[in-house]
Amino acid sequence: MTDPRNDELEAQLAAEPSATRRPTVPALEERLHRLNPVLDHGFVRLVDYMGDDAAIVQAARVSYGRGTRTASTDRGLIRYLMRHRHTTPFEMCEIKLHVKLPIFVARQWIRHRTANVNEYSARYSILDREFYLPAAEHLAAQSRTNRQGREVALSGDEAARVLELLRRDAVQTYDTYAYLLNDDGTGEPADPERSMLARELARMNLSVNYYTQWYWKIDLHNLLHFLSLRADPHAQYEIRVYADAIAELVERWVPVAFEAFRDYRLGGAFLSRQEVEAVRAAVDVERLVAAVEAAGLSARERRELLARLGIHG
Ligand SMILES: Cc1cc2nc3c(=O)[nH]c(=O)nc-3n(C[C@H](O)[C@H](O)[C@H](O)COP(=O)(O)OP(=O)(O)OC[C@H]3O[C@@H](n4cnc5c(N)ncnc54)[C@H](O)[C@@H]3O)c2cc1C
């Protein structure tokens, strides 16, 4: 289940570098078509992208009029958009990725409905004998406090036994798959005395740690939503590492938007009404204002924070 098109593209690009009139981002161009390895056999590969930080600004200025255009006001505008969840300008940027991932990770990933997906068809083609096994430090016991989490890593004989069982089952299911397919690699029966079970049926006993692949295209707004959920410590490690690999590409692609995303979304906090009331009751306004100034927030951000907390400083 390799992607021969990747090699063809690399060769084609080396032979005839193309000139384009579209805006491009040199830091991301470097990563086009390159595999970013994830887990033991997976990867994220950048196939294509459209737009950059300037495209976000350009779209927003259609709403707000041109105004003065400098790098700092562009940055301020992107940060304003992110802070106020004025999201449509971020939808002007798109990215297309080729991802290879275990089926159980794909099941979590596909819940993000706002992307366009084309998955490798195991009805049509034969899956590779490639399955995911956790590295020792990620082979951990069930958390007692979080039903969706894990705790300390297993060790010694127990860890070895668990890995052995996981490997044994995966190998066994693939052996059965291969037996049912009865394919000699050229589409002819390996054993002419037996039928070749339809690929769409033969695959059904494979374990969910087998790898699948897809092309995944999404706009920046929905991608940031995906990252806010899947690059979060609450997300399962096996999807989080994909989110981290994608975040690294996004930071190269739209550094200003990514910085704003990190400041207002990843590192920010949403407070309930009761929490706001508790903070308001406890806070010393002068100290808060001094701390906000020391944090380097603009006068506008300072006003907005105080207004959000219902404090009139
Ligand atoms: C830590 C974690 C634990 C989870 N645990 C579970 C679990 O136990 N069980 C489970 O089933 N899922 C679970 N999920 C999946 C979760 O419920 C969401 O399905 C997933 O995160 C996708 O989020 P989303 O719908 O916001 O994303 P997207 O599908 O990308 O949608 C983005 C946004 O578009 C809007 N939208 C998209 N489609 C519709 C629609 N049809 N109607 C209305 N609005 C729409 C919504 O505002 C949505 O937030 C978990 C997710 C995480 C991150």
Check if 231 has its Cβ closer than 6 Å to any atom of ligand 1: no
Question: What average pLDDT does the structure give for the chain?
Answer: 90
Check if 147 has its Cβ closer than 6 Å to any atom of ligand 1: no
Between the CA of 93 and the centroid of ligand 1 the distance, in Å, is 21
Catalytic residue among 75, 230, 252, 262: 230
Look at ligand 1, atom 22, and give the residue with the nearest C-alpha: 112
Q: Is 230 a catalytic residue?
A: yes
Strand ranges (E), the chain: 35-38, 42-50, 94-102, 116-119, 140-142, 150-153, 211-219
The Cα–Cα gap between 104 and 212 comes to 10
CB neighbours of 125 closer than 8 A, spacing ≥ 6? Answer: 1, 199
Give burial (CB, 10 Å; 0-12/13-18/19+) of 211: buried
Between the CA of 232 and the centroid of ligand 1 the distance, in Å, is 14
Asked if the model's pLDDT at residue 65 lies above 70, the reply is: no
**207-222 residue pLDDT tens:** 999 999 999 999 999 9
Q: What is the DSSP letter of 267?
A: S
Q: Quote the pTM value.
A: 0.90
Asked if the model's pLDDT at residue 8 lies above 80, the reply is: no
Look at ligand 1, atom 42, and give the residue with the nearest C-alpha: 113
